[in-house]
Chains A and B, each alone.
Chain A
Amino acid sequence: MTARRGFCSLLKQDLVVAYRNGFFLVVVGLAVIFVILVRFVIPSEVKITPREYVVDLTEEQTIADLFMKKGLADILLPSEDALLSLMQEDRNTIGIVFRGSRENPTAVIHHQGHEPKKALNALSAAVSLVWNEAGALGRPSFSTPVLLRPESGKLPFNLSMIPLLIVTEVVLLGFLFVAVMVFQEKAEGSINAYRVSPRGTWTYIFSKSVTNVVLALCYGLLLFLPTIGPAPTLAAVLPLVTVASFLMTVTGLSVSVFFNSLSDFIYVALLVFVLFCLPVASYFFPAFKMPVFELIPSYPLMFGIREILFPTGKTGFYLPMLIRLAAESVVALLVAAWAVNRNLLKEAR
């Protein structure tokens, strides 16, 4: 009971200090800027140059021969199933299936749905040229089906930024805010007063963490509601934001207690930030995915939020992802407890 009272008192203090430090203002400001960007600046469609893959299902296999002669064997796939499977994996691909014969040339252009109309028209023209070169006797007929993803709709580019923006805040601000609070307490010496109070390491860590989680949730709501709207998916996103923010806060605590000022810490902070942002590359270019990226906590967070907001039919991913982040948080919490106790609360400096 008294421990809870102590925690509440420290939490109130941390929230007031965070408010007076302008942390809430930063969070609101960033959220407003990102909402404006997402809603009014970033287009819902963006021109990208997708990779094309070809399947030759013609009677004479003339198309495959043609591509091999041109040295383009690497874009040939053996079957339509292989093509569709690859397209499911990589959103930056387009598949062209040549069918029929010279007398009755046809082509199917499978696309993801987010490609601009102009790009598809240009591709149709290019496919006609290929058929001509292969000796087609008439104009090919086209169909351009959108790749079907269960439960998936067309993903507007601007909204696809939301998971990225949420993760950026949780990672960057969660890590930095707690460090700023630690350095402030070191500079003021107020940490010494806490050290001779009846409260200890856990109260300190949890107070800082909850303060940061509140900031992260404020940001998440401010970004989510004006862009996605009050969707039921919010209920799934908020627990992820909570756990991830906690994880980043205790990580920030673990690192910052080894430094005496923000200027000493900033290089390490940048390094950590770059590390945690590496999965962004995979987000935009799925082909650019190294296995090690999946070990970085921001990876499941980013793709998890995307899957929640824009489902592609994956099931059973949410709970394991939440458990994984929670398990990582527990490990990070133990490290933080050791670091805070040893470097912040134990020895006079």
Chain B
Amino acid sequence: MIEVSNLIFTYPRAHQPAVRGISFRIEKGQIFGFLGPSGAGKSTVQNLMIGLLPMQKGSILYDGKTLSDMGKSFFNRVGVSFEHPNLYEKLTGVENLRYYGGLFDKPVIPPEQLLDMVGLGDAKNKRAGAYSKGMKQRLVFARAIMNRPDILFLDEPTSGLDPGTAQRIKEIILSERDRGATIFLTTHNMYAADELCDQVAFIDEGRLVAQDSPRNLKLKYGKKAIKVEYTSNGQIKSEILFVDRDEDRYRLSQLIDSGTVETLHSQEATLEQIFIKLTGRGLS
């Protein structure tokens, strides 16, 4: 379990804190989505959690222990996928993984197997500098999971990937969760978060504005309504009907019985709409 309490961080020479009293808790084996627009403080929180930034105020506990308690050995249990691909560009894909794997104190997944998993098997002997952005992203992702981490930090893991590849990466993320890994997913992609996360937290201007499961957030902030499209006199018409109103429920059954209904859409809110409602600004 990861417990983050009252985290405050100000960058040197900055006038205002980048993170202002953030607290949350991530249960073991959960995918925790950290959603927010660029500059909201997502990466700062992640960097604090992995020790790349020094703690100023607050605490971060992993099963009751701080990073200082655990020292460098902590990173045997951790995988980190960065938003910006950071690879040795003069090394091939397989070399990047092989040498990085050698830094761990425990056995790692063979590089070739990892490259096949992320669809880079054919490019394993190509230098990373010649990879496309999406290929680099996949290689960084593969590097993050190579030590079968207990805790996985993923920063925009599907950014810049085509839909097919993104789906493949999402499946691996879910399988990592099923294996028992706790996953901290930083993203501004609400669809990825909706699809993957057990819990999401919205961060805006360094503050946490909401935290719950995607379903609960939608129930809390969305409308229990259905949008119906139907044909009438050769024209497509639409109506929004609220399921908790008797007259709307009657109207819905009328339309269904008439056989003119073309489409039915539930009107639950998307995570982006909820974020806008809470903060007044979008995620992108």
List A residues at the B interface (Cβ < 8 Å): 2, 5-6, 8-10, 12-13, 16-17, 20-21, 185, 188-200, 346-348
Contacts and interface: CB of A to CB of B under 8 A. Distances in A.
A42 B85 CA distance: 50
Interface stretch (B25-33, B96-104, B222-230): B96-104
Contacts of A12: 99, 102
18 contacts: A10-B102, A12-B102, A13-B91, A13-B95, A16-B95, A17-B91, A20-B90, A188-B88, A189-B86, A192-B82, A192-B86, A193-B80, A193-B140, A196-B75, A196-B80, A198-B105, A348-B47, A348-B53
B7 to A, nearest CB: 15
Nearest to A20: B90
B19 to A, nearest CB: 13
Given A199-B72, A347-B52, A190 B103 contact: no
Contact of B52 (A13, A197, A200, A348): A348
A interface, over-half SS:
helix
Interface of B: 47, 50-54, 72-76, 78, 80, 82, 84-91, 95, 98-105, 140, 143
A6 B76 CA distance: 12
A193 B78 CA distance: 12
Contacts of A197: 75, 100, 103-104
Nearest to A6: B103
A36 B7 CA distance: 64
A95 to B, nearest CB: 59
Contacts, number: 87
B95 to A, nearest CB: 7
A-B pairs with lowest CB-CB distance, top 3: A9-B102, A189-B86, A13-B99
A218 B279 CA distance: 62
Given A347-B54, A348-B52, A189 B82 contact: yes
Nearest to B48: A348
A335 B267 CA distance: 63
Contacts of A199: 72, 103
B86 A188 contact: yes
A194 B91 CA distance: 15
Residue among B52, B82, B101, B102 with most chain A CB within 10 A? B102
B62 to A, nearest CB: 14
Nearest to A200: B72
B53 A347 contact: yes
Contacts of B99: 9-10, 12-13, 16
A196 B86 contact: no
Given A10-B102, A193-B100, A348-B47, A198 B75 contact: yes
Given A12-B99, A196-B78, A198-B76, 6 more contacts: A9-B98, A9-B100, A9-B101, A197-B75, A347-B53, A347-B54
Contacts of A189: 82, 84-87
A196 B50 CA distance: 7
A200 B90 CA distance: 22
Nearest to B44: A348
A238 B74 CA distance: 40
A346 B54 CA distance: 8
B82 A193 contact: yes
Contacts of B100: 9, 193, 197
A20 to B, nearest CB: 4
A1 to B, nearest CB: 9
Contacts of B47: 348
Given A188-B88, A188-B89, A195 B102 contact: no
Contact of B103 (A10, A16, A17, A346): A10
A327 B188 CA distance: 53
Contacts of A348: 47, 52-53
Residue among B51, B78, B86, B140 with most chain A CB within 10 A? B86
Contacts of A195: 52
A214 B140 CA distance: 30
